[in-house]
């Protein structure tokens, strides 16, 4: 069982990649919809929520964990690794940094939530990985509500994207990381607001790195269940999220309600 978790349903863009790149593997997803969004919350709160999400996935039999959320990847990867005790943990930031470093001419932009940008994680990881590459970050806090309200194709989304990306255009970026799992849903609008810029989607890179790991660890891979079974849990459920989930995953999804608060008692 591959476990994925996010603050909400945005992480389903990572689940979609698992279905595409690793067909057949069972997955369990947890979206903390009762407490979303995480993007504007403090590191302390995000770490606590991330540990609860980890407990939840372990209690449901996850043997590999994907942090399908840039904010948690940026702020809580160490806490999730400590909590997961030996279960391999994949996050969405480093695969995106590596990909961006590989394709850029030297100027990378990162768009993300306020939490991810303020964490400075992309700047620091790039400095460690490819010190000559310049990284410019830009928080885009309106993108998540625009996507969640189904307004990605409306002119207001284009106008807001144009405004958010202006400072990055002035910096003459050649590569742009979509540093929030919701943002691939705005890909066409973002591409228009950043003409000639190469887009990096962390979901694709993360699942590619998980795939490599499975190839390099065939024993571990053989231990993962492969019955094409997929469970989707959320901490709050309403008809709107049910519809969004199916749209974003590209197939029918039955969301089930679950409480994170009791997960610790169940885990291990």
Which residues are annotated as catalytic?
69, 180
Q: Which is nearer to a copy of itself, 191 or 237 (CB)?
A: 237
Residues 203, 206, 209, 213: is their CA dihedral positive or negative?
A: negative
Smallest separation (angstroms) from a copy of itself to the CB of 32: 10
User: Closest CB to a copy of itself among 65 and 160?
Assistant: 160
Q: Which is nearer to a copy of itself, 27 or 118 (CB)?
A: 118
Only one residue has tokens 């993962």, namely 224
Collapsing DSSP states into helix, strand and coil, what is residue 255? strand
User: Least separation, in Å, of the C-beta of 210 and a copy of itself?
Assistant: 31
If DSSP codes are grouped into helix, strand and coil, which group holds residue 139?
A: strand
Least separation in angstroms between CB 124 and a copy of itself: 20
**Shortest distance, CB of residue 8 to a copy of itself, whole angstroms?**
10
Question: Is the Cα dihedral 213, 217, 220, 221 positive or negative?
Answer: positive
Question: Rule CB under 8 A: which residues touch a copy of itself?
Answer: 33-35, 40-42, 45, 114, 141-142, 145-146, 148-149, 151, 155-156, 159-160, 235-238, 240
Structure-token pair, residue 11: 């992480």
Q: Which is nearer to a copy of itself, 88 or 141 (CB)?
A: 141
Coil vs helix vs strand at 90: strand
* Count of helix runs (H) and strand runs (E) in the chain: 13, 10
Asked whether the beta carbons of 152 and 185 are under 8 A apart, the reply is: yes
Alpha-carbon distance of 49 to 71, in angstroms, equals: 11
Contact partners, residue 231, CB within 8 Å, separation at least 6: 27, 28, 29, 60, 256
Q: Residues near 97 by Cβ (< 8 Å), separated by ≥ 6?
A: 122, 125, 126, 129, 177
Residue 179 corresponds to which tokens in the numbers above? Answer: 């540093």
We find the least distance from the C-beta atom of residue 148 to a copy of itself, in angstroms, to be 8
Closest CB 243 distance from a copy of itself, rounded Å: 12
Please tell me the distance from the alpha carbon of residue 38 to that of residue 41, in angstroms, as a whole number: 5
Nearer to a copy of itself, 157 or 177 (CB): 157
Phi, psi of 238 (to 5 degrees): -145, 165
**Nearer Cβ to a copy of itself (42/256):** 42
């Amino acid at each position: 069982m591959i476990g994925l978790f996010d603050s909400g349903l945005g992480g389903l863009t990572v689940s979609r990649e698992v279905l595409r790149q690793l067909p057949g593997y069972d997955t369990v997803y947890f979206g903390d919809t009762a407490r979303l969004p995480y993007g504007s919350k403090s590191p302390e709160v995000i770490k606590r929520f991330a540990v609860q999400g980890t407990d939840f996935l372990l209690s449901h039999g996850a043997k590999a964990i994907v942090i399908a959320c840039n904010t948690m990847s940026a702020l809580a990867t160490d806490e999730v690794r400590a909590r997961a005790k030996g279960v391999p943990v994949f996050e969405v930031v480093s695969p995106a940094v590596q990909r961006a470093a590989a394709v850029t001419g030297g100027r990378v932009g990162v768009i993300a939530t306020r939490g991810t940008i303020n964490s400075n994680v992309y700047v620091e990881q790039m400095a460690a990985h490819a010190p000559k590459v310049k990284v410019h970050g830009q928080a885009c806090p309106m993108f998540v509500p625009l996507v969640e309200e189904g307004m990605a194709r409306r002119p207001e989304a284009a106008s807001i994207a144009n405004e958010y990306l202006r400072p990055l255009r002035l910096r003459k970026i050649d590569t742009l990381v979509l540093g929030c799992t919701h943002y691939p849903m705005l890909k066409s609008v973002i591409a228009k607001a950043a003409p000639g810029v190469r887009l990096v989607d962390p979901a694709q890179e993360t699942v590619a790195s998980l795939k490599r790991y499975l190839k390099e660890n065939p024993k571990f891979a053989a231990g993962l269940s492969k019955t094409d079974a997929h469970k989707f849990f959320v901490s709050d459920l309403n008809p709107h999220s049910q519809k969004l989930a199916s749209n974003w995953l590209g197939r029918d999804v039955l969301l089930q309600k679950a409480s994170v608060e009791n997960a610790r008692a169940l885990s291990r």
